Amino acid sequence: MDRFDFKVNVVSSTPVYLQLACVMERAIELGKLEPHASLPTVRNLCLRFSISKNTALQAYNYLLKREKIYWDGKSFHL
């Protein structure tokens, strides 16, 4: 996850999951994340960014719905 910077903006009206999803989506668009690369586990996202499991899952589910990432039954990938 060093390929992009993310800090939770607690004063923002944008939900944290959407803040994270947008940063990840931008990193994908800029090519900072390689195609078919494995993404960090939900647990790793939680630990790295001090967010809840539900928030991390919401961010991944948002990206899944937008077809930016996919789930292979074990982990999330681009």
Residue 43 in any domain: the answer is yes
**Per the structure, how many domains does the chain have?**
1
Residue 48 in any domain: the answer is yes
For the stretch 10-23, pLDDT in tens is 889 999 999 999 99
Vertex 58 angle, CA 3 and 73, to 5°: 80
Note the pTM of the prediction, 2 decimals.
0.88
Whether 69 has a pLDDT exceeding 90, the answer reads yes
- List the domain range (segments joined by +) for residue 62: 16-77
CATH number of the domain enclosing 73: 1.10.10.10
Whether 4 has a pLDDT exceeding 70, the answer reads no
From the list 8, 27, 4, the residue with the least C-alpha distance to 16 is 8
Residue 71 in any domain: the answer is yes
From the list 69, 60, 65, 63, the residue with the least C-alpha distance to 36 is 69
For the stretch 29-54, pLDDT in tens is 888 888 888 999 999 999 998 999 99
